[in-house]
Structure 1
Amino acid sequence: MTDDTAPTRDDLVAEVAWLKGALEQARVLIDGATEYHIPVPEGGGTDLIVRRQALINGMGWAVSVPGYGGGRAWTAEGWQEAISALTVDRLFCWPDAATAVAEARRALNTTA
Structure 2
Amino acid sequence: MTDDTSPTREDLIAEVARLKGELEQARVLGTDATEYRIPVPEGGGTDLVVRRQALINGMGWAWAVSVPGYGGGRAWTAEGWQEAISALSVDRLFCWPDAATAVAEARRALTTA
Tell me if TM exceeds 0.5: yes
TM-score by length of 2: 0.87
Runs of 5+ in structure 2 lacking a partner?
A: none
Deviations 1:37-91 (A, max 9, x none): 1111222221111111113433560000111110111111111111111111111
Secondary structure, aligned partner of 2:2: coil
Distance between the aligned counterparts of 2:67 and 2:53, measured in 1? 17
Equivalenced residues, count: 111
RMSD: 1.7
Runs of 5+ in structure 1 lacking a partner?
A: none
CA apart distance, 1:13: 1.6
Q: Higher mean Cα deviation, 34-43 or 85-94?
A: 34-43
Corresponding position of 1:68 = 70
The sequence identity of aligned pairs, in percent, is: 90
TM-score by length of 1: 0.88
> Contact 1:34–1:51 at 8 Å: present in 2 too?
yes
